[in-house]
Amino acid sequence: MTSPSATGNRRRTAATDVLPDIAKLTQLSDEQLEELVLANLGPDAAGLWESLIAPPLLGRVRAILVATQHRIDNDLRTRRSRRSERRSKLGLDLTSPYEQRYDQWRGRVTVFKRLVETRLSQTRAATADENHRAAALNHRHRNAVRMLAKAIDCHRRAVGTAFDPEPADRALWQVLDDVTVPLGPQGVSVPVRDMLDTYWSFDENHPSPPLNLFSQHAQKDTAMDSAEDDGPDMTEPPAPWPEDLEVFAEAVRPTTNPVRATDGKD
């Protein structure tokens, strides 16, 4: 590993407390991004790091820091082993030029390692925050799908008992079978119609979800083994992709002609 002090001046090209353009940062090559990251590990680049730990760059920056940490640790072990070997052959002489150079090098690398570890901790915190935001968004998406599915099902029940369904009605109801949501640790795809009949129909009369639906779809999709089918973990997984929401939004447009509601006979 090259000493940080040997390359510090060459790499220090963008230390700044100004918030840069994330779009431009994402266009940097891996080598360019690594140089930017390692040249600005100190506290004087808060604005830059606000962009570096943004979602579009977070993964790449974290990978750079982890790789750098590994290189530092490997270099420290290698140099420590060489020094021990030298001492075993020549004896211990703390005043020798070799020992002085080693101590100076180790001091610089230790400081550099602490900076890397500090920024790595920052990326971990940013990753946790991003996961929390994603979970909250998934929860909102899932609730939206649940509300839309219940509205379509209510429409189906009302129209089905009073009128002959029109093609638009049947197309609307078919969405309940076409749109699926992931269920269980393996994300088994379950049609929202089945979710309405089981997991989304809980009330005081249904204190716990049935296990057979989960097992049925898990076996069909070969996503889980039999031990997991009967497992107690029935936690709902993240919400469906936004494309499924778009399918719902498109599907709810057709509806029964309001005139029929007044002209129909019981």
Model pLDDT for residues 47-89, shown as the tens digit of each residue: 899 999 999 999 999 999 999 999 999 999 999 998 888 888 8
Q: In this structure, is residue 117 part of a structural domain?
A: yes
Q: In this structure, is residue 42 part of a structural domain?
A: yes
Shared domain for 199 and 92, answered yes or no, is no
Shared domain for 166 and 218, answered yes or no, is yes
Residue 202 has pLDDT above 60, yes or no: no
Residue 230 confidence (pLDDT): 46
What pLDDT band is residue 194 in, cutting at 50, 70 and 90? Answer: confident
Shared domain for 162 and 224, answered yes or no, is yes
Q: Say which amino acid occupies 261.
A: A
**Which among 154, 146, 160 is positioned nearest to 248, based on CA atoms?**
146
Shared domain for 128 and 187, answered yes or no, is no
Shared domain for 156 and 91, answered yes or no, is no
Residue 263 confidence (pLDDT): 44
Choose between 75 and 235: higher pLDDT: 75
Q: Which of 136, 152, 185 is the last residue of a domain?
A: 136
Query: What CA–CA distances, in Å, run from 208 to 41, 80, 84, 146, 202?
Result: 52, 60, 65, 18, 7
Choose between 172 and 205: higher pLDDT: 172
Shared domain for 102 and 116, answered yes or no, is yes
Shared domain for 143 and 132, answered yes or no, is no
Q: List, in sequence order, the alpha helices (H) in 53-96.
A: 55-90
Residue 61 confidence (pLDDT): 95
SS3 content of the chain, % helix, strand, coil (to 5): 70, 5, 25
Residue 94 confidence (pLDDT): 77
**Average pLDDT, rounded, for the chain:** 75
Shared domain for 56 and 127, answered yes or no, is yes
Total domains, the chain: 2
What pLDDT band is residue 217 in, cutting at 50, 70 and 90? Answer: low
**Cα-to-chain-centroid distance, residue 44:** 29
- Across the range 130-147, mean pLDDT stands at 86
Residue 72: give the domain boundaries. Answer: 4-136
Shared domain for 144 and 102, answered yes or no, is no
For residues 133 and 15, give the distance between their C-alpha atoms in angstroms, rounded to a whole number.
Answer: 29
Q: In this structure, is residue 266 part of a structural domain?
A: no
Q: In this structure, is residue 174 part of a structural domain?
A: yes
Residue 234 has pLDDT above 70, yes or no: no
For residues 28 and 56, give the distance between their C-alpha atoms in angstroms, rounded to a whole number.
Answer: 12
For residues 238 and 244, give the distance between their C-alpha atoms in angstroms, rounded to a whole number.
Answer: 13
Shared domain for 107 and 29, answered yes or no, is yes
113-135: pLDDT as tens digits: 999 999 999 999 998 888 888 88
Q: Which of 109, 136, 163 is the last residue of a domain?
A: 136
**Are residues 223 and 188 in contact, defined by beta-carbon separation less than 8 angstroms?**
yes
Residues 6+ apart with CB under 8 A from 3: 105, 108, 109
The token duo for 264 is: 């129909």
Shared domain for 37 and 95, answered yes or no, is yes
Q: Which of 108, 136, 164 is the last residue of a domain?
A: 136
Residue 222 has pLDDT above 90, yes or no: no
Q: In this structure, is residue 210 part of a structural domain?
A: yes
For residues 132 and 139, give the distance between their C-alpha atoms in angstroms, rounded to a whole number.
Answer: 11
Residue 251 has pLDDT above 70, yes or no: no
Shared domain for 123 and 162, answered yes or no, is no
pLDDT > 70: what percent of the chain? 68
